Amino acid sequence: MKKTSISDLKLAAKDRLLGSYGIATGTFALVFALIYTLLMVLVFSMIGSGLMTSGNGTMGASVKSLLISTVFSLVIGALSSVMFVGYISVIMKISRGDRPVISDAFFVLKNHPDKVIIISIIMTVVQMILLLPSNIVSLSGVTEAKRFLLWTVLYVLGFIASLVFNMYLGLCYMLYIDDVDMDVKYFVTESVRLMKGNIFRYLYLHLSFIGYYVLVFMSLGVAILWVAPYQYMTMVQFYEDLRQ
């Protein structure tokens, strides 16, 4: 079957958003504000308890810092996923002609949130494992030229591998929204199945928004309220195209 081009998917996304940008931008602002607030509460709690102190520069302090950052990444990843999957459910409703409400942003909290958290942990842990070699090298310092080169190579390889892995699992959350009663194994295997042969299309989809994020930077972040709904809607169109 002929695949729909990314440009056509973006046109379809614009068409779906017509007349619905208010709820799309409003919900995104709410989700972003909640995640930012949770992040600040967590950071200040860690600072207050002394967990984020830099230590004395020893290997033990470096290991402690790595462990803290690992736990921090898992917690933030899980919380962010719960909120942003709720936002995706709003975008999917708009795409299908339904009329979402602000409360739909909390979709996950009412529908097996543990499944979203497990998917998030899987993605975060695999990413950490793939970046572990570069982190081990960095623990002993990267001031020497050879060690810095080794760290750079390991980091780039780990980053590319984790990027590919996360793209293969890129449809898990949308599959969850459509079939909340299915198990995590189904979401993972079905996402991998759908993404086979479509990784470069999915990567190109995201790269095609680079210009828009330049505008976001130039607008001091304000334009994200319009760019994010557009990008998420395009991702939903990509998902719908593959499922057909």
One-letter amino acid for residue 145 of the chain: A
Residue 30 has φ and ψ, to the nearest 5°, of -65, -50
Q: Which residues of 58-80 are buried (b: 16+ CB within 10 A; e: fewer)?
A: eeeebeebeeeeeebebbbbbbb
Q: Which of 171, 54, 26, 173 is nearest to 107 (CA)?
A: 173
Q: What is the pLDDT of residue 14?
A: 95
Residue 16 near residue 233 (C-beta atoms within 8 A): yes
Residue 44 near residue 124 (C-beta atoms within 8 A): no
Which is it for the CA torsion 104, 16, 5, 228, positive or negative?
Answer: negative
Q: What is the pLDDT of residue 8?
A: 96
Task: Kindly state the average pLDDT of the residues 163-181.
Answer: 96
Place 168 in a pLDDT band, splitting at 50, 70 and 90: very high
**Separation of alpha carbons 233 and 24, rounded Å:** 10
Share the mean pLDDT of the chain.
87
Both tokens of 218, joined, read 């130039």
Place 161 in a pLDDT band, splitting at 50, 70 and 90: very high
Query: Which residues neighbour 114 within 8 Å (Cβ) at sequence distance 6 or greater?
Result: none
Q: Is the pLDDT of residue 186 over 70?
A: yes
Q: What is the pLDDT of residue 41?
A: 78
**Separation of alpha carbons 235 and 92, rounded Å:** 10
Element containing residue 208 per DSSP (H, E): none
Residue 83 near residue 92 (C-beta atoms within 8 A): no
Place of tokens 């079939």: 179
Both tokens of 184, joined, read 């995590």
Please write the tens of the pLDDT for every residue from 60-105.
Answer: 555 666 677 677 777 887 888 999 999 999 999 999 999 998 889 9
**In degrees to the nearest 10, what's the CA dihedral of 153, 154, 156, 157?**
110
Task: Kindly state the average pLDDT of the residues 164-185.
Answer: 96
Residue 146 near residue 200 (C-beta atoms within 8 A): no
Both tokens of 108, joined, read 């996950």
Please write the tens of the pLDDT for every residue from 24-45.
Answer: 999 999 998 988 888 787 777 6
Place 58 in a pLDDT band, splitting at 50, 70 and 90: low
